[in-house]
Structure 1
Amino acid sequence: MSAVLDLGPRRHPRRMSLTPMIDVVFLLLIFFMLASRFGMDAVLPIAGGTEGAGSEWHGPPRLVDVTPDATLLNGEPVATADLSAAVAGLLPPEGGAVILRPREGADVQRLVDVMDVLRAGGVTDLILID
């Protein structure tokens, strides 16, 4: 004789609810949106002389070559710290533009550092050429 065990009516397994998973996804989305930074771009003010119109060049040449490990003013090496004083001696009394030319291998940060040194020395009219 075999005994049959009666456990009652067969129950179907419960379906999992997706609500907790959706809540977690939205919480992660809010976290990453609040933790990220948007719009942190910096603007480099570079004046183009007379903004595209032709003008006469006044005074001696003022060409600053920016290389990865040196700064050249009209082809002569100059320490970056002394650059603004050297350029100031070449500027005419009414002011003038300084041309910046990055050379092969010079990164953008090096160029920005040279621009900051010139701007700190009072040079505001910078022309960037390729």
Structure 2
Amino acid sequence: MSLIRQAGPVRRITLVPLIDVLFILLVYFMVTSVYRDLDMIPMVRGSDPGAGGVDGGGGAVTSLLLRIDATGQVVSRGQVLSRDALAAALAQPGQRVLILPTGAAPLWALTEVMDAVAAAGVQDARLVRLEAAG
């Protein structure tokens, strides 16, 4: 004797609860995230051991100060640097690079300068922030 089972309805997996959970997580992370927090990048302080002008081997370290103005231009020693001039200035080995964005400097310009510094292989690069005394 053979028993024949009736085929029941095919159950489908719905994605509606998963989409709801993902939407709630998306809203949560958007609300709790910080979009521009430059305090997480290490900066030069006067009390830092490496803030002086001598490297670990006792030799003098040259510093290159790159200032980013409100229009996104990179200025060094009073001269506006193009991308090629910036790459040439960063090509000198063994120098410390200090990046000083103005308060109104666009974030994309800071990102481009930091990418150029990383691409040049600079080992000692620091972001400098000026604070009012008081």
Give yes or no for TM over 0.5.
yes
The change in CA–CA distance for 1:109 and 1:53 in structure 2 (over 3 A counts) is: same
Q: What CA distance in whole angstroms lies between the structure 2 residues aligned with 1:70 and 1:102?
A: 10
**RMSD after superposition:** 3.8
The structure in which a higher percent of residues are strand is 2
Q: Which runs of 4+ in 1 moved over 4 A?
A: 37-42, 44-49
Q: What CA distance in whole angstroms lies between the structure 2 residues aligned with 1:101 and 1:41?
A: 22
Alignment pair present for 1:74 and 2:77: yes
Report Cα offsets for 1:74-129 as digits up to 9, x if no partner: 2221103431321223x4xxx23200000242122210111101111111321111
The change in CA–CA distance for 1:69 and 1:30 in structure 2 (over 3 A counts) is: closer
3-state secondary structure, aligned to 1:64: strand
Partner of residue 106, structure 2:
107
The change in CA–CA distance for 1:27 and 1:85 in structure 2 (over 3 A counts) is: closer
Number of corresponding residues? 100
User: What TM-score, normalized by structure 2, do the two folds share?
Assistant: 0.54
Alignment pair present for 1:88 and 2:91: yes
The change in CA–CA distance for 1:79 and 1:29 in structure 2 (over 3 A counts) is: same
User: What TM-score, normalized by structure 1, do the two folds share?
Assistant: 0.55
The change in CA–CA distance for 1:48 and 1:124 in structure 2 (over 3 A counts) is: farther
> Which structure 1 segments of 5+ residues have no match?
1-25
Report Cα offsets for 1:39-82 as digits up to 9, x if no partner: 9989x995668x92155413443100112231112222110343
- Rg larger in 1 or in 2? 1
Q: What CA distance in whole angstroms lies between the structure 2 residues aligned with 1:123 and 1:98?
A: 8
User: Which amino acid counterpart does residue 61 of structure 1 have in structure 2?
Assistant: S
> Which structure 2 segments of 5+ residues have no match?
1-16, 54-59, 130-134
Q: What CA distance in whole angstroms lies between the structure 2 residues aligned with 1:55 and 1:31?
A: 46
Percent identity of paired positions between Structure 1 and Structure 2: 27
